[in-house]
Chains A and B, each alone.
Chain A
Amino acid sequence: MKRARLFAVVALALVYAVALGARFLAPADYAFQFREAPNAPPSVRFLLGTDELGRDRLSRVFVAAQTSLLLAPAAAALSTLLAALIGATAGYIGGWWEKLTMAGVDLFLSLPWLFLLLTVRAVLPLDTTPALSVMLTFAILGCLGWAASARVICAGVRQLRNSGFVLNARALGCSPARLLAVQLGPNIKPVLWAQFLVSIPVFVLAEANLSMLGLGVAEPLPSLGGMMRELENFSDLGSQLWRLAPLALLFACITAFQLFSSSREVQA
């Protein structure tokens, strides 16, 4: 497992290094249209070919990685934090508070939040920069994505609350804050980590779906989700595998996150 963890760390470090240095590493301006070469296959000039407007796909993948792989984990962290606060409190206190919180979670999950997203986009000033717009989008996603994770975390904490070591700690006079921090926290960490990792691709894909509604990343700024819209024409994919690059990068990142988390669990 050590080797797997090392591999995951190296892969993630590499991807994040590329994401952070995307503007310097990209061989071309991600927005520039080489109009004489639309839909070009990979070549020395365009290593991953070009899109329909002749934009260098490799440069766009780099910048998309920056957009999606920095902001999706940030949104995932925000939603997991909210889920941990709400779910753990409900699970620890139990009783009517837990019931009330879970009813609130059910209500939250059933509300059509898409309209909130549409409303936010509709009232944003038109001169909002694409970068600010995308940050706001991911922030909203983070604030709205906690409910399902809160249920899982609540169940985990409820189970731990009645376990022997927690009862022992209580019997020894451990305060609720210390119980949460020292006894429950470390034991619930794998669940939090799993929820965090599961949320990352969910947010990347949510952003792609929002792009279809005008709430995602605006042209010409690329995102992994937005670039995956190219895959809608699935019938041509067999002969143009390079179009799968954003999907492959997303898959590699999620796998690396998973390897990293599972190796940590084994270590623990």
Chain B
Amino acid sequence: MIRAARLRVACALSVLCLLAPLRSFAQGELRFCLHADPKTFNPLMVDDDASEAVRYLTGGTLVRLNRRSQQLEPELATRWKTSSDGRRIEFTLREAVRFSDGSPFGAEDVAFTMRSLMDPALHSPLGDSFRSGPGEPQIEVTGSNHIAITFPAPVAGLDKLFDEVAILSAQSPLKERAVLGPFVLADYKPGLFVYLKRNPNYWKKDSAGRPLPYLDSVRLDVQQNREIELTRFRRGEIQLINAIDGEYFDRLQAQSPAEAFDAGPSFDSEEMWFNQSPSAPLPSWKLGWFRSTEFRQAISSAINRQDMSRLVFNNHASPAAGPVSPANRFWFNSRLKPHSYDPAAALRLLRQAGFRVDAGVLHDSGGHAVEFSIVTNSGNKARERMAAMIQQDLGAIGIKVSIVTLDFPSLIERMTRSFNYEACLLGLVNTGLDPNAQMNVWLSSGENHQWNPAQKTPATPWEGEIDRLMRAQASATDPSRRKQFFDRVQEIAWEQQPFIYLVHKNALSAVARNVQGADPVVLSPQTYWQIERMKISNERAAN
């Protein structure tokens, strides 16, 4: 009898052990990886991808950008109105909403959040986006559910900026731990994971009136290694990969096509530029080449972007024409096409600019052989391959290119302090839709005006024209007028090629079969932007 009882207990325990992993998935725990520890859990101080992921999952915002339609949708604000001069915005807030700790939500919380955000002592990166002129914003609480904010100067794309402002509680002793988003921070082990539990007070409900989110918890494992991340995805240990490299994507697609998603060109671009800074310790003839529009246009025409997309990104990229990707539907200037690969045209342009080819080597009018180095960051295989392709393409028109890979701090030192480089190949990560996010790139006084940063006065007429257009679009509030201005900026950039845009990488992601409700898109966060409607089924766990 005793033996039989022991056997039954052992069998029961075995069954429980076998069911344990199924049970955890059946309760609806979504898992995916962060590639670094979050630097902060304060939503006003977010400046890195990992913290941004936590903010998106836990923070409640007044409005939310629909990542599919790229249109703003009401969230904690049921209505909002921006003044015609772009300085004032009024919100009508949703009623009967509570923070995760039960404290009520109202206009005072929004006022508290905006005051904290705009506090100069906080140095909030997000707060800087709202600072369009000197002075502090005026915040008027005109009712328990009504608030108006007036900024000292027009803020272009004002309403869209609130997509990133997670509202804090003015009263809760938990401070930023009291949230209005679908999940709440439950545990964090540095270097291991961030654990989020369902917010029991989340205000949103589905069409059948059931409370959202469907998931009970989200576990974000800290994992830097992309290969391990993919292996864990294949094993079913994680269910999402937000941004996946081309070669990994192809392997996943070959094995499990239903789990691999290519959403098309992303907002990110890869580009190269020549150093035109007068502070650069370069020979005058080299600076002369780099400042020549024909030279830059010739280089652009001599680079085969199609081959680059095909070989380096396994066809998961498309040739770039300018700073705005076709994914950015409103701001993309569709009249511009990428410079086509045409070495003959490149040579014609170079001859016009006084260059000549002798014995297969391109020389300038002073007889100097044309050769330069391209610096890029080390450890990035895609960029090293792109540089190798540029080397061969430019070799075909008689230009000798050497490739130098540097660790990132050394590269930044050369780009921003010593200016001791000739050409640079890097990528630009665009997180915002609005061109205002690129102000410090395009204004000639900007620190990120990479080819010739921090100019006191524009070095060229076309840079002066870009300055004027960027300021005009920033102060205009009519979207179509702003688009006209920024379209012209893109045209000038296309003509002058200060940045030689190469490709836009595609937004590649992976979603496990057992995840329901995911709709991968280009905009970040690609796979979980509608997290509250996502579910986990047991299909994969049972496999």
Binding site for B on A (CB under 8 A): 31-33, 35, 38, 52-54, 118, 121-122, 126-127, 129-130, 211-215, 218-220, 229, 232-236
Contacts and interface: CB of A to CB of B under 8 A. Distances in A.
B307 A121 contact: no
Given A53-B388, A121-B410, A233-B247, A218 B403 contact: yes
Contact of A53 (B385, B420, B422): B385
B402 A127 contact: yes
Contacts of A54: 311
A213 B379 contact: yes
Given A53-B389, A126-B375, A127-B373, A220 B403 contact: yes
Contact of A32 (B231, B392, B406, B420): B392
Contacts of B405: 214, 218-219
Nearest to A35: B307
Interface string B379-397: 1010011011101100000
A212 B225 CA distance: 14
Nearest to A119: B410
A232 B245 CA distance: 13
Contacts of A121: 406-407, 410
Interface in B403-427: 403-407, 410, 413, 420-422
Contacts of A234: 227
Contact of A33 (B231, B392, B413): B392
A35 B375 contact: no
18 contacts: A33-B311, A52-B385, A53-B311, A53-B389, A126-B422, A127-B402, A129-B402, A211-B378, A213-B378, A214-B377, A214-B378, A214-B379, A215-B378, A219-B387, A219-B388, A219-B391, A219-B403, A235-B231
Interface residues of B, number: 33
Contacts of A236: 251
A251 B399 CA distance: 39
Interface string B239-268: 000000001000100000000000000000
A126 B420 contact: yes
Rank and list the top 10 A-B pairs by shortest CB-CB distance, nearest first. A214-B378, A214-B405, A122-B410, A126-B373, A219-B388, A219-B403, A212-B379, A214-B406, A220-B388, A219-B384
B379 A122 contact: no
A235 B388 CA distance: 26
A235 B227 CA distance: 9
B518 to A, nearest CB: 24
Contacts of B385: 52-53, 219
A31 to B, nearest CB: 7
A176 B311 CA distance: 64
A137 to B, nearest CB: 12
Nearest to A229: B381
Nearest to B375: A126
Contacts of B413: 122
Given A212-B379, A218-B402, 4 more contacts: A118-B407, A118-B410, A213-B378, A233-B227
A218 B375 CA distance: 11
A218 B404 CA distance: 7
A118 B413 CA distance: 13
A32 to B, nearest CB: 7
A35 B407 CA distance: 29
A120 to B, nearest CB: 11
Contact of A122 (B247, B384, B403, B407): B407
Given A35-B311, A214-B379, A126 B402 contact: yes
Contacts of A232: 227
A232 B230 CA distance: 13
Contacts of A129: 402
Interface centre among A35, A229, A236 (most CB of B within 10 A): A35
A235 to B, nearest CB: 6
